Structures are given as structure tokens and as C-alpha cells.
């Protein structure tokens, strides 16, 4: 089923969890979509939101798509911009988790290239070959590529 996030309120359903991963940076009216997320969540429900970290150099220098044609309309979010977007709507945010650094992103590009050239088995094989290099990432102090935040719709008191 294909569905437009701008029409989320028309679903007429409520959810315990909404997962929005690497999508919101492609949407101009992110506030409208996040208000819809809040409306469709049950009380105590959780929005799991992951977007590019606007402070990461790759994202900060990313060519933007102001016309919402499929590219990024913004370089991503920071914890501050998550707060500014979600708290006025009513969400309670937990501290973000940073995901992926420079090594991880390079490896992801390599794995995707293997998969596009050799298919899924090639992508899996490539992942198994390069995954030990991810241990290097944990030892480096890098700016995470993406930020995950858990935003809760509070239960009324």
C-alpha cells in the first residue's frame, strides 16, 4: 500500500509505535508530519525517529532539494533542532543515540556497490569481509552520521 505522510491523519488508526527512519529530512513540512505522528500515537506511544546528523560534514555539505523531489530538503537534525520540532507538539524526548561514523559510511558505500554489482549474496559476502573494520569506529571519537531519538507521547496525569 502506498501512502503519503502528509495524509497520515486520514488513516483513522492509532499505534503504539511509529518508526520513521531516514525520511523526515526529505519532507519540507516536517512539523505537519510530526503533528500527525503525535495524533496517530496512543497515549504512551513512541515515535522512533532517525535522521542524518546536521553536524556531520557529509550532511552539512549535502546538496539540498528545496522542491521536495526526493532529495534532502535539509541537512538533517541536531538534538537541539529535534527539541525545537518535537517538544512544542507535546513529545517528551530522550537523549539521542549517534549512529555511524566515517568508517561506517565508507563501508556502507562499499557494501551497496557490491550488492548492486553482485546481488544480495555479494552484498552479504562483502559485509562479512569488511565488518571487522567496524571495530575501528568504536575506538575513534567521530561525529555520528545519524541521530536516533525516542520521542514519547505522554499519558495524561
Q: Look up the pTM and report it.
A: 0.75
Query: Are residues 21 and 92 part of one domain?
Result: yes
- Shared-domain flag, residues 25 and 90: yes
The verdict on 71 and 128 lying in the same domain is no
82 shares its domain with 130? no
Q: Which three cell numbers, joined as nine digits, stand for 47?
A: 515515535
Q: Is residue 94 domain-shared with residue 68, that is, in the same domain?
A: yes
Q: Are residues 96 and 115 in the same domain?
A: no
Structural domain for 50, as ranges: 14-100+145-157
Between residues 31 and 117, which one has the greater pLDDT? 31
Contacts of 34 (CB under 8 A, 6+ apart): 24, 47, 85, 86, 89, 91
43-99 per-position pLDDT tens digit = 999 999 999 999 988 888 888 998 888 889 999 999 999 999 999 999 999 888 887
Domain tally for the chain? 2
C-alpha cell at position 75: 541537512
Do 30 and 73 have their domain in common? yes
Amino acid at each position: 500500500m502506498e501512502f503519503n505522510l502528509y495524509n497520515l491523519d486520514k488513516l483513522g488508526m492509532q499505534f503504539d509505535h511509529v518508526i520513521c527512519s531516514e525520511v523526515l529530512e526529505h519532507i519540507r513540512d516536517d512539523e505537519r508530519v510530526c503533528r500527525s505522528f503525535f495524533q496517530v500515537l496512543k497515549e504512551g506511544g513512541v515515535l522512533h525517529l532517525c535522521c542524518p546528523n546536521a553536524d556531520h560534514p557529509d550532511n552539512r555539505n549535502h546538496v539540498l532539494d528545496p522542491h521536495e523531489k526526493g532529495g534532502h530538503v535539509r541537512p538533517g537534525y541536531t538534538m537541539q533542532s529535534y527539541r525545537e520540532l518535537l517538544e512544542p507538539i507535546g513529545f517528551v524526548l530522550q537523549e539521542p543515540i549517534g549512529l555511524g561514523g566515517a568508517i561506517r559510511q565508507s563501508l556502507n558505500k562499499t557494501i551497496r556497490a557490491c550488492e548492486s554489482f553482485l546481488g544480495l549474496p555479494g552484498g552479504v559476502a562483502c559485509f562479512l569481509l569488511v565488518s571487522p573494520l567496524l571495530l575501528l569506529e568504536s575506538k575513534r571519537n567521530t561525529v555520528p552520521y545519524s541521530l536516533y531519538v525516542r520521542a514519547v507521547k505522554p499519558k495524561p496525569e
